Amino acid sequence: MSPTLVWFRLDLRIADHPALQAAIARGGPVIPVFIWSPEEEGSWTPGAASRWWLHQSLQALQEQLAKLGSTLIIRRGPALAELRKLRNETGAGALCWSRRYEPQIIVRDSRIKEALRADGCEVHSFNAALLHEPWTIQNKSGKPFQVFTPFWKHCLAAAPPPAPAPLPAPKSLPSPKAWPKSAALSSLKLEPKIPWAGQIAATWKVGAIAAEQRVKAFARNAWDQYSEERNRPDHAGTSRLSPHLHFGEISPRQVLAILAAEGRQDWLSTQYVTEIGWREFAHHLLYHFPHTPDAPLRSEWQHFQSKHDPAALKAWCHGRTGYPIVDAGMRELWAAGWMHNRVRMIVASFLVKDLFLAWQEGALWFWDTLVDADLAANTLGWQWTAGCGADAAPYFRVFNPITQGQKFDPDGDYVRRWIPELKSFPLEYLHAPWTAPNGPPAGYPAPIVDHAMARDRALAAYAGLRESLKQT
C-alpha cells in the first residue's frame, strides 16, 4: 500500500486523532507533516504569543512521534504546493487531516481537497476538535442557533459526551523506506527574540502530555470548588486548559473522559462542562456566520460609532488606565500570554464602554498576545461584551472596574501580584487608589476616564442607536 500523509494543523497530539488512526488503518507507511503557511490564514495570521506556543507544541509532538519510531516532516510555503511536492517525493496515495473551521481555512482546504482529488489522491478529513460538527446542530427551523442555552441542550440531547470513547494513542507508526526532506523547526522562526517570551515560558508547560496532566490535576484539586472559584483571578480555580484545546494537544472528548474516569459526580451537568459547551457554541457561530471576526453578528450594530483614540488604546494595552483590576489583567496578559476569564470581561467592557473604542481593536490585541488566541472564542467574547453578537450582554450592562475588583479580588492579591506600584498600598483604597488621601502612589497613573461619566455616555449612545433603529 502507498504511503499516507497526515497533515497536522491544530491537532498536535497522537491520541484521539481520527486522521492518524485512518492513515494507520489504510495500511502502508504513515508520514506526519506540518506546513507553515501563515499567509494563508488571511488577516488572522497567528500572533506572537500563538507562534511561541506553536513552536513548543510542535517540539512536543516531534518527541511523541519519535517514541513511535516516526518523525514530523516540516515544510514552509503554500500548503497545496508543498503537499503536491510531498506526494511526488514519497509516492503517497492518500492524505488525511483534521478539520478547521475558520472561514479562510475552509475555503483553502476545499480548494486543496478538490485539487488533490483531481490529481488522483485520496483525501479524507475528520473532526478532531469538537464534540459536534457545526452543520449537524440546527434549531427546529433548520437554521443555526444564536442563543447558547437551547444550543447546548440540543447538543447534549443529540449525543451526550464523551461517547464515543476517545481513540487510543497508537503504539507505533509504520515508516517509509526513506523520509522526505524536512526543514528544521527553528527555521520557521516562531519564537520571538525578546525577553517577553521568557516570562511566558516560565508560566506554561506545553504539549499533549502537559495537557493531560493539567486536566487530571484540575479534576483532583480544583473541581469541587470550580463553580465558586472560577470568577476569582486571585485563586487557582480554573483549569487553564484553553491553549491546549486550541492547539489540539487534547480534545474535548478526552477532557470529558478524564473527568468521568476521575469519578467526578454528575460531571456532565456541571458549570465546567457548560464552559466546554460555550467553546462549541463559538465554533458553531463562526462556521455559520463567517463575517463575525470583523463585523457584528447583529447587522444593526454596523451603524454604531465608536471613538478613535490611539492614546487611550495604548494605555489600555499597557495596563496604564489607572483602574487596578483592568491594569492587572492587561499586565498579566503581556507577561503570561493569558488572562483570567472574569478579568477578560472586565477589561473588554472597559475598552468598549468606558473608553468607547471599537471591540475590533481589543480583539486584535488579544489575538496577538494570548497563547489561547482562538478566532471563534475571541470573536464570541468581544461581540458578547460589545452587545452586538449572539447571547450578547444587554447594552446597559457596564462592568464597574472598582466594584468588580472589590468583589472578585477582595484581598487585593491579584492586583498586588501584577502591579508592583500598589504592592504596599492600603486595601481600603487599592481598587480606587485615586481616592486615597494622597492619591495614587508614585509611578501609578490617575484614571484616564471617569467611570460614572463614561457609563452615562455609553448608555446614551446605545439608547440612541436603539431609538434610531426604531425609526428606520
Q: Are 248 and 303 within one domain?
A: no
> Is the distance from CB of 52 to CB of 197 less than 8 angstroms?
yes
**Is 197 a domain residue?**
no
Same domain, 135 and 263: yes
The answer to the question of residue 411 being in a domain is yes
Instruction: Report pLDDT for 267.
Output: 66
Of 108, 128, 148, which residue is a domain's last? 128
Q: Where residue 197 falls among pLDDT bands split at 50, 70, 90? A: confident
Same domain, 323 and 426: yes
Q: What is the mean pLDDT of residues 194-221?
A: 92
- In the structure, what pLDDT confidence band is assigned to residue 90 with cuts at 50, 70 and 90? very high
Mean pLDDT value across residues 252-257 = 93
In this prediction, residue 89 carries a pLDDT of 97
Question: Which residues are within 8 A (CB) of 52 and not within 5 positions of it... i.e. 6 or more apart?
Answer: 190, 191, 192, 197, 200, 201, 337, 371
End-to-end, the C-alpha distance of the chain in Å comes to 65
Q: Is residue 196 part of a domain?
A: no
262 compared with 470, residue with greater pLDDT: 262
pLDDT in the model for residue 163? 65
For residue 192, the model assigns a pLDDT of 85
Q: For residue 26, give the amino acid letter.
A: R
The pLDDT of residue 413 is 98
State the chain's mean pLDDT as an integer. 93
CA-to-CA separations, 449 to 268, 357, 382, 422, 430, in angstroms, rounded:
43, 13, 21, 19, 17
C-alpha grid cell, residue 396: 446597559
Which CATH number do you get for residue 397?
1.10.579.10
Q: Say if residue 457 is exposed, middle or buried (CB neighbours under 10 Å; 0-12, 13-18, 19+).
A: middle
**DSSP conformational letter for 307:** B
Would the pTM of this model clear 0.75, i.e. be above it? yes
Looking up residue 100, the CATH number of its domain turns out to be 3.40.50.620
Q: Is the pLDDT of residue 75 over 80?
A: yes
Asked whether residue 455 is assigned to any structural domain, the reply reads yes
Q: Is 186 inside any structural domain?
A: no
Same domain membership, residue 307 and residue 237: no
Domain boundary among 107, 128, 149: 128
For residues 308 and 455, membership in a common domain is answered with yes
**422 within some domain:** yes
How does residue 196 score in pLDDT terms, banded at 50, 70 and 90?
Answer: confident
Q: Which amino acid is at 332?
A: E
Do 140 and 284 belong to one domain? yes
Mean pLDDT of 117-122: 98
One domain for residues 148 and 283: yes
171 domain-assigned: no
Residue 179 domain-assigned (yes or no): no
Beta bridge partners of 447: none
Q: What percent of the chain has pLDDT over 90?
A: 82
Q: Which residues contact 12 (CB under 8 A, 6 or more apart)?
A: 57, 58, 60, 61, 207, 208, 247, 248, 249
Residues spanned by the domain of 410: 299-467
Q: What is the mean pLDDT of residues 441-456?
A: 96
Q: Does position 472 have pLDDT exceeding 60, yes or no?
A: no
* Residue 349 shares a structural domain with residue 424: yes
Q: 145, 137 in Cβ contact below 8 A?
A: yes
The answer on 263 and 325 residing in a single domain is no
470: pLDDT strictly greater than 60 = yes
For residue 135, the one-letter residue type is W
Going by C-alpha positions, the residue among 107, 146, 109, 148 that lies closest to residue 126 is 109
- Res 464 pLDDT > 90: no
For residue 118 the three cell numbers come to: 483531481
Number of domains the chain is built from: 3
Cβ pair 185, 58 in contact under 8 A:
yes
Q: Which three cell numbers stand for residue 239?
A: 483549569
CA distances (Å), origin 196, targets 49, 53, 269, 313:
10, 13, 39, 20
Shared-domain flag, residues 343 and 450: yes
Last residue of a domain, one of 101, 128, 155: 128
> C-alpha angle 169/174/176, rounded to 5°?
140
57 with 161, same domain? no
- What is the sign of the dihedral through the CA atoms of 373, 377, 382 and 385? negative
How much is the pLDDT for 162?
A: 64
Res. 160: pLDDT tops 70 = no
What number is the average pLDDT over the span 313-327? 98
- How does strand 73-76 pair with strand 122-126? unpaired
More confident site: 194 or 363: 363
User: Does one domain contain both 112 and 137?
Assistant: no
What integer pLDDT is reported at residue 141 of this predicted model? 93
Q: Are 146 and 292 in contact (CB under 8 A)?
A: no
Q: How many CA atoms lie within 13 A of 345 on its CB side?
A: 16
CATH number at residue 139: 1.25.40.80
